[in-house]
Amino acid sequence: DYPGTLYEAIGGSATIHHLVEAFYARVAEHPDLYPIFPDDLTETARKQKQFLSQFLGGPAYYTEEHGHPMLRARHLPFEITPSRKDAWLACMSDALEEAEVEEPFRSAIFERLTHTAQHMMNTPEDRK
Ligand code: HEM
C-alpha cells in the first residue's frame, strides 16, 4: 500500500476506477469536449486510470506501460482552448462528487488537476 498518499486516502484503485468512469461519462456528453475525443473512450479511460494512480502517489502504471507522461506534448494534437479546459475541469469536479471523494482530499486533488489543466492549454479561444 501507499501510506500518506492521496491515492490511499481516497480509497485507492476502486475510487480511481469510479472517478474515471464518472468523468468520461460526462466528457462523452459535453458539447465542447466529445468532438475532440475518440467515440470509444475505453482505452482513454484505461490510460487515465493508470495516470491518476501515479499522479496521486499510487502505483506508476502509466509510466510502466507508456514511459514518461509528457502530458503537454501528448495533448498538442488537440486544440485545447480556455473553454475546453474549463469544461474538462467541470466534468472532473462533478465526477469527484459522484465518486464520493471526501474533503479535504477532493479540494487537494482538484487544485492539482486545475494546475495541470492550465498547463495543457495550447490554443486561444478565437481559433476554436
Ligand atoms: C488524453 C483532452 C486535460 C490526462 C487526452 C486526449 C484528449 C484529451 C482529446 C486523447 C484521448 C485519446 O485519444 O484517447 C484533454 C483536454 C483537457 C485535458 C481538453 C483540458 C485541459 C488533461 C489533464 C490530465 C490529462 C489535466 C491529467 C491530469 C490525459 C491522459 C491522456 C489524455 C493521461 C492519455 C494520454 C495517452 O494517450 O497516453 N486528453 N485533456 N488530460 N489526457 Fe487529457
Percent of the chain with pLDDT over 90: 97
Q: Which atom of ligand 1 is nearest to the CA of 43?
A: 14
* Lookup result for grid cell 471526501: 102
* CB atoms near residue 86 (< 10 Å): 12
Q: Are 60 and 54 contacting, i.e. CB atoms less than 8 angstroms apart?
A: yes
Domain boundaries, the chain: 6-127
Query: How far apart are the C-alpha atoms of 98 and 110, rounded to whole Å?
Result: 14
Statement: the pTM of the whole predicted model exceeds 0.90: yes
Between the CA of 48 and the centroid of ligand 1 the distance, in Å, is 8
For the Cβ of 45 lying below 6 angstroms from any atom of ligand 1, the answer is no
15 closest CA partner among 107, 99, 112: 99
Q: What is the mean pLDDT of the chain?
A: 97
Summarised one tens digit per residue, pLDDT across range 36-86 is 999 999 999 999 999 999 999 999 999 999 999 999 999 999 999 999 999
CA 57, 62, 68, 69 dihedral sign is: negative
Percent of the chain with pLDDT over 70: 98
pLDDT of residue 1: 82
Q: Which of the 8 DSSP states describes residue 125?
A: G
pLDDT of residue 111: 98
Q: Which CATH class is domain 6-127?
A: mainly alpha
Q: Which of the 8 DSSP states describes residue 22?
A: H
